[in-house]
């Protein structure tokens, strides 16, 4: 039996206009169909979000990377020539450094091969993988190179992670070196932690080789720090002399400059006579400093006029301030509170057995 009529029209021999049947019976003009109830007044709009879509997309991109598909740039490590393929879009999204490289007006923005000088190949591969996965392995044998590369490529999260890793490794034998490295890389948080650790453990730091290897500028910065944790200024002078004696030929010429950072007026007169004067060897700058210190002791009534940086004690040598008793909401406090000027903190040092008012105190064994 033959059929006539256009495609999509109801069969003439069916005797009705039913659309149920073969696909050829469906109308092509869907605008005549209504998908919603004519009497509905409430909005049925919905905002759909696929959980894990971004992670899945990055995972797919990493699979393309591992398969070497759709890669449009090859990075070459300057230190060993290792070649690392990648996708410009992914690198640009993860790093401001690569974004400027690929979207800016740099001469290599259109190049398919880019050499990165002084970059280690293994670290470069790890950094590229991080751009796809958001994870990276930090070890003792790669943290310095990784931190330097992350600083170059403006991967701020990696920089912070490496800084925290190094902060956990701080020790009297390495804190000075970590501070120098952090300053060179402009890692402010790591530099602050390393300097704070050095100040707190100064007496242990000066017994290590790193201290003896400091240059004059670094030694100047160290001795200028009033936060050094020492019980008396004699330790500062002895540390300075051990540094000079490590290389007297080249370092003795700086004794006047560095001795000016020791708070000589706060040293006992006997110490000045027995230990400081014998080492100055006619240096006029040192002689003036010793004379200033002696005047401080001989003329106590003029100390207000002689006050300077050398007469200001280091915070750790001030001891602690004790506040005993006083008034609180219960009229009489039972606590002895202690203030540490170096750490700038208050703590409860002791609890008295009862409340006392208008009493006196005495210090024994101080």
To which residue do tokens 């923005």 refer? 109
Q: Residue 241: helix, strand or coil by DSSP?
A: helix
Structure tokens at 108: 């290599």
Establish if 200 belongs to a structural domain: no
Structure tokens at 203: 């007496």
The segment with the largest mean pLDDT, out of 303-312, 342-351, 354-363, is 303-312
Residue 48, Cβ density class (10 Å: 0-12 exposed, 13-18 middle, ≥19 buried): exposed
Distance in angstroms (rounded) separating the CA atoms of residues 147 and 161: 9
Establish if 67 belongs to a structural domain: yes
Strand-pair category, 83-86 with 113-116:
unpaired
Where does a domain end: 138, 153, 174?
138
pLDDT at 8: 47
Establish if 77 belongs to a structural domain: yes
Domain total of the chain: 2
Establish if 174 belongs to a structural domain: no
Instruction: Give the pTM.
Output: 0.76
Residue 86, Cβ density class (10 Å: 0-12 exposed, 13-18 middle, ≥19 buried): buried
Distance in angstroms (rounded) separating the CA atoms of residues 12 and 19: 12
Distance in angstroms (rounded) separating the CA atoms of residues 23 and 198: 82
Where does a domain end: 102, 123, 138?
138
Establish if 273 belongs to a structural domain: no
Structure tokens at 4: 């006539």
Where does a domain end: 92, 117, 138?
138
Q: Report which of 200, 141, 148 is spatially closest to residue 170, judged by C-alpha positions.
A: 200
Establish if 69 belongs to a structural domain: yes
Domain that holds residue 347: 319-351
Instruction: Give me the CATH number covering residue 77.
Output: 3.30.710.10
Establish if 103 belongs to a structural domain: yes
How does pLDDT run across 2-50, given as a tens digit for each residue? Answer: 444 444 444 444 445 444 445 556 556 666 666 666 666 666 688 888 8
Q: Report which of 358, 360, 347 is spatially closest to residue 321, judged by C-alpha positions.
A: 347
Establish if 298 belongs to a structural domain: no
Mean pLDDT of 119-139: 94
How does pLDDT run across 141-196, given as a tens digit for each residue? Answer: 999 999 999 999 999 999 999 999 999 999 999 999 999 999 999 999 999 999 99
């Amino acid at each position: 039996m033959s059929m006539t009529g256009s495609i999509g029209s109801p069969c003439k021999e069916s005797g009705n206009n039913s659309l149920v049947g073969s696909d050829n019976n469906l109308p092509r003009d869907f605008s005549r169909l209504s998908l919603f109830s004519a009497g509905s007044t409430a909005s049925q709009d919905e905002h759909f979000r696929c959980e894990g879509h971004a992670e899945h997309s990055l995972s797919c991109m990493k699979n393309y990377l591992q398969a070497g598909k759709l890669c449009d740039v090859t990075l070459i490590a300057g230190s060993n020539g290792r070649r690392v393929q990648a996708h410009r879009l992914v690198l640009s999204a993860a790093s401001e450094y690569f974004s400027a490289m690929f979207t800016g007006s740099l001469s290599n923005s259109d190049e398919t091969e880019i050499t990165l000088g002084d970059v280690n190949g293994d670290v470069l591969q790890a950094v590229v993988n991080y751009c796809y996965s958001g994870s990276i392995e930090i070890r003792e044998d790669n943290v310095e190179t990784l931190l330097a590369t992350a600083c170059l490529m403006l991967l701020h999260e990696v920089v912070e992670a490496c800084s925290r890793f190094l902060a956990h490794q701080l020790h009297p034998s390495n804190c000075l070196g970590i501070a120098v490295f952090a300053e060179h890389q402009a890692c402010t948080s790591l530099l602050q932690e390393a300097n704070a650790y050095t100040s707190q453990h100064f007496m242990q730091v000066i017994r290590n080789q790193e201290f003896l290897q400091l240059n004059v500028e670094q030694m100047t910065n160290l001795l200028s720090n009033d936060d050094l944790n020492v019980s008396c200024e004699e330790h500062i002078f002895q540390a300075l002399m051990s540094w000079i004696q490590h290389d007297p030929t080249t370092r003795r010429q700086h004794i006047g400059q560095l001795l000016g950072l020791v708070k000589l007026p706060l040293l006992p007169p006997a110490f000045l006579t027995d230990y400081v004067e014998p080492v100055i060897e006619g240096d006029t700058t040192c002689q003036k400093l010793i004379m200033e210190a002696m005047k401080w002791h001989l003329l106590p009534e003029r100390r207000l006029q002689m006050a300077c940086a050398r007469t200001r004690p280091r915070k750790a040598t001030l001891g602690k301030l004790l506040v005993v008793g006083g008034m609180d909401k219960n009229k009489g406090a039972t606590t002895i509170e202690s203030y540490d000027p170096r750490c700038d903190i208050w703590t409860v040092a002791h609890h008295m057995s009862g409340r006392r008012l208008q009493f006196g105190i005495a210090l024994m064994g101080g």
